[in-house]
Structure 1
Amino acid sequence: MDFWILVIRIIFLSQTTIGILGNVSLMFYYLVLYYRECTLKPTDLILLHLMTANSMTIISLGVPNTMAAFGLMQFFNDLECRILIYIQTVGRSVSIGTTCLLSVFQAMTVRPRELCCKDYKVKAENFIGCSISLLWGFYMLIHFVLFVYPFIKLNSKNMTGKRDFGYCSTTGSDEISDSFYAAMVVCPEVFFSVLITWSSSSMIVILYRHKKRVQHIRSSHGYNRTSPESRATQKILVLVSTFLAFYSLSLILRGCIALLYNHSWWLVNITPFTSLCFPSFGPFVLMNPCSIIYRLTLIWIRKKNNLIFFKVHE
């Protein structure tokens, strides 16, 4: 058992460290882009909020579980525990919603001719901004209701026993709060997962058809490198597979945590591990070091040329 405790410590510490470094690095990169260009592409805006939601999940889930793995048990009271869970659930829900938004937006850009609105590219940034604001507002409100509800029903006889999360514990819930959670949180997450699968599948089909159409042109010019369609398809498959695998497993385990009150040691430790996998490793799936260095270099060159231009004309 001591060996598995050591393994859990190393896993949580590595997950938390890698996740914070990856998400903060990408957040810093997009903030630099915004500072230099005073605007962000719709995809960059989505990814910035995705990294923010992932960071919230890692800090509120990874850090406490790492501390608990190193022996600091039950160091939060009931209120502090509920605040941590509130931050975790908001971050998780917004992460799923923004991932869905990213997948749908990419599917829209791949096939612009099929859209009814011809000037959708002009309106995309406003549409994305409104959608992200609605996601944050909706989930912050829903989870706040779930946060406040136990304090309203604190003296109710329908409230069940405590739920242990390793680093803290909370009083249980009743059938009303469980049903509300399933209707307002679980169902949208399942819907978003289905929508991600559909939009990603449609992108892969479109890219495959496009690759077949231009294959004879590339072969006639001796083009033997991996096509852009293949690279894009591989990236989409990796991202979607990572998302669906870890979040589906996490959803099942979180359901077990919600339904069972006598949690085993394995269930308590594996559930946060699966919940942290996509927030921790997702940035490295999205990260393209060559592209990041190239864009930052272009910004630096553009700024330098502007300074030279103004100095010459002074």
Structure 2
Amino acid sequence: MTLSDLVLGILFLTQMGIGILGNFFLLGLYTFTLLIGQSLRPIECIFAHLALANSEMLLSRGIPLTIVCLGIKNFLDLVGCKLIVYLYNVARSVSLSITCLLSGFQVITISPSNSRWAKLKLQAPKCIVPSCFLCWCFYLLINFTLLGTMHNSRYMTNNSKIWHLGYCSILTPASFNAALFAIAFSIPDVMCVGFMIWASASLVFLLHRHHQRVQHIHSPHLSPRTFPETKATHAILLLVSTYVFFYSLNSSLSLYLFKTDKHHLQLVATSDFLAALFPTISPFVLIFCDSQVLKYWYALWPRRCFCSLWINVPKYNPS
């Protein structure tokens, strides 16, 4: 084990620990809310599914990569390799689709009553939970077809191509059209990213028009950032822009690694690190932009926590 491997192992372990802390906090809070007989807000249902998908992403990729950086390579057999890749791909796709659903739901929520989305305002909250479960079922089924194309490197032939993941190696037969397969499976991702960009532009437009309409109602001493009706929208805009940014970087790097025949360990590690940044950051964006969730965070952690510097929110006073 080299020094660079040790540094990467510590980096992946730290990233996974921070992300798991935030996502498990949200999952625990929402689970406790359900156990005491209270119902979740529609947007909290989306947050819960997003936190679950993010946790699965971090665990299915972070644990194997940390073990690899500590010097144990190719430790998974064929079944374990397929299972880890399957869980990660499902969680990554669900995280993308849930973020897309979140942005669309917020567009409907803040749209004015005379818009074309007004008829959906009453129906949208009822469709949240079924839509989330539909995302899980869809990607569980579509990624199941991926398992049939994966083989262990021990069955390698001269015409086969090997994809080195560190903890295992994936073998694809010579007849397998990897480019066509990658394009087919990236179509839903591209559609979701495109929809999120459109939804973000719509949110910015609606916020600007809404501020112009209600500016005379609010006190002139209040900053527009503190308007209650805009806090959730700001959080979702930050969440979507974060996802699109890291998704674009990771996809570009993955495409380069896909086309090159050489195995670049540093580039593979960078790609994995970028892929895990969104599930690491997103729970803290949700926590510090929701005052109802933030008060429970401050009840567990000191107010001097460095995370309180992220976003200017009202401080929680236990008295």
Question: How do 1:191-206 and structure 2 match up within 5 A?
Answer: 191-206=191-206
Trace 1:41-120 onto structure 2 (pairs within 5 A).
41-113=41-113, 114-115=115-116, 118=119, 120=120
**Which shows bigger deviation, 121-130 or 9-18?**
121-130
Q: Which amino acid in 1 is paired with 2:100? A: C
- The SS at the match of 1:166 is coil
The change in CA–CA distance for 1:164 and 1:155 in structure 2 (over 3 A counts) is: closer
Name the aligned partner's letter for residue 180 of structure 1.
F
Larger mean Cα displacement after TM superposition, 282-291 or 189-198: 282-291
* Structure-to-structure mapping, 1:203-242, within 5 angstroms: 203-218=203-218, 222-223=221-222, 226-228=225-227, 231=231, 234-242=234-242
The CA deviation string for residues 34-66 of structure 1, in whole angstroms up to 9 with x for no partner, is 222443222111111111111111111011111
Post-superposition shift, 1:177? 5.2
Q: 5+ residue gaps in structure 2?
A: 299-319
For the residues of structure 1 that align with 2:224 and 2:203, how far apart are their CA atoms? 21
* Gapped regions of structure 1 (runs ≥ 5): 298-314
Query: Contact conserved, 1:146 with 1:177, CA < 8 A, in 2?
Result: no
Deviates more, 1:261-270 or 1:225-234: 225-234
| Distance in 1 between residues matched to 2:97 and 2:123, nearest whole Å | 20
TM-superposed CA distance for 1:125, in Å, is: 3.5
Aligned mates of 2:268, 2:226 — CA distance in 1:
44
RMSD of aligned Cα (Å): 2.9
Within 5 A, what are the aligned runs for 1:297-308?
A: none
Question: Are the structure 2 counterparts of residues 231 and 117 from structure 1 closer, same or farther at C-alpha, using a change threshold of 3 Å?
Answer: closer
- Structure 1 residues 176-211: Cα deviation after superposition (integer angstroms, max 9, x where no partner): 45423421x211111101111111111111111211
Look up the SS of the partner of 1:287 in the other structure: helix
SS in 2 for 1:75: coil
Matches within 5 A, 1:140-159: 140-150=140-150
Residues 285 and 88 of structure 1: is their aligned pair in 2 closer, same or farther, counting only changes over 3 Å? same
Give the count of matched residue pairs: 292
Q: Which has the higher helix share?
A: 1
TM-score for the superposition, normalised by structure 2 = 0.81
- Give the partner amino acid of 1:285: V
> What code does the residue aligned with 1:115 have?
R
Aligned to 1:132: 132
Q: Distance in 2 between matches of 1:93 and 1:79?
A: 21
1:234 CA displacement: 4.2
Correspondence 1:276 to 2:276 = yes
Which is bigger in relative contact order (C-alpha 8 A, separation at least 6)?
Answer: 1
Counterpart secondary structure, 1:162: strand
Provide the secondary structure at the position in 2 that maps to 1:39.
Answer: coil
Deviating more after overlay: 34-43 vs 67-76: 34-43
Displacement of 1:290: 3.7
Give secondary structure in 1 for the equivalent of 2:161. coil
| Distance of aligned partners of 1:290 and 1:236 in 2 relative to their CA distance in 1, 3 Å threshold | closer
Tell whether 2:209 aligns with 1:180. Answer: no
Distance in 2, matches of 1:268 and 1:178, equals: 19
What is the alpha-carbon distance in structure 2 between the residues aligned to residue 202 and residue 274 of structure 1? 27
TM-score, structure 1 length as denominator? 0.83
Listed one character per residue, the Cα deviations across residues 93-132 of structure 1 (whole Å, up to 9, x for unaligned) are: 00000000000001100105223663x4443243222222
Deviations 1:147-167 (A, max 9, x none): 12346xx98989622211112
Question: In the TM superposition, what is the alpha-carbon distance from 1:32 to its structure 2 partner?
Answer: 1.5
1:283 Cα offset (Å) = 0.6
- Distance in 1, matches of 2:123 and 2:249, equals 36
- Contact 2:150/2:170 (8 A) holds in 1: no
